[in-house]
Amino acid sequence: MSAILAGDTIDTVLRLSAPELAERRILLGHALGLTRVELITRSEQALTPAQAAAVAELFARRIAGEPIAYLTGTREFYGLRFEVTPAVLIPRPETELLVELAIDRLPRQGRVLDMGTGCGAIAVAIANSRRDAAVSAIDLSDAALVVARRNATYHAVQVQLLRSDWYAALAGQSFDMIVANPPYIVEGDHHLSEGDLRFEPVDALTDHADGLSALRYIISGATAFLERSGWLLLEHGYDQAEAVRSLLDTAQFTEVQSWADLAGIARVSGGRRRSVTL
């Protein structure tokens, strides 16, 4: 990549060979505080020394593999802007399926719990679409809860945030629905050392075991916190749907099923707590 120099125009910087053009636009716009349209209309604007240095640093970090979302501090999810930091996972489009399923199945004025909320993407998206709902979210990471709180405030939604190691701090509470996107990557999976995952918090990606331990724990404990007929909806790995359905069956959930994302991959599985005790 050619050096970025003070006096270079926006158009000159966009003609560089790396990173990719779309990424160059995003990073340049972020560094200069300009929209994509403004980058076009001001294409002959020259960079100041400070701007050139800032752009060069962002480009170098991206070439080294750092995720765009961490470089800009934001990511869009479910049509909403979310702040992200290296303390939280980057929200991904496939997780929008979990939000859609939750919104459709949550009863009027229902209570929903998001477990392992991270930046709060799932909880805030549900709260934004279902203003009638009472939304709670937990995470063990104080840093993640700070980010989630800022995102809830930014979107002017009410989300009760609580530091909890899964169900540990929830005694006496009950919900009409529990949703979770827990760590489900198998320990040692090669994906953990590739792409964006190299930069994301490892404890939010893998359970450091077989990929199912967090899912087992959530499923086994859910009935104590779910109202009768309440839904449990779980995101999981591309090859874990059958195993998760088996866990739900063993825990005596009903209407157990899996749903595919836009790529046709079974991405979310869930079921309902039985309405009567057998």
80-83 and 74-77 strand pairing: antiparallel
Starting at the edge strand found earlier in the chain, the sheet holding 254-260 runs 159-163, 134-139, 111-115, 175-180, 226-235, 266-272, 254-260
Task: Per-residue pLDDT tens, the chain, 278 aa: give them.
Answer: 668 888 889 999 999 878 899 999 999 999 999 999 999 999 999 999 999 999 999 999 999 999 999 999 999 999 999 999 999 999 999 999 999 999 999 999 999 999 999 999 999 999 999 999 999 999 999 999 999 999 999 999 999 999 999 999 999 999 999 999 999 999 999 999 999 999 999 999 999 999 999 999 999 999 999 999 999 999 999 999 999 999 999 999 999 999 999 999 999 999 999 986 55
- Find out whether 218 and 182 touch, Cβ atoms under 8 Å: yes
Please tell me the distance from the alpha carbon of residue 167 to that of residue 218, in angstroms, as a whole number: 8
* pLDDT, position 145: 98
- Find out whether 254 and 272 touch, Cβ atoms under 8 Å: yes
- Provide CB contacts within 8 A for 12, sequence distance 6+: none
- The residue with tokens 């404890």 is 203
DSSP for 66-103, written as a single string = --HHHHHTEEEETTEEEE--TTSPPP-GGGHHHHHHHH
* pLDDT, position 1: 62
Q: What is the pTM of this model?
A: 0.94
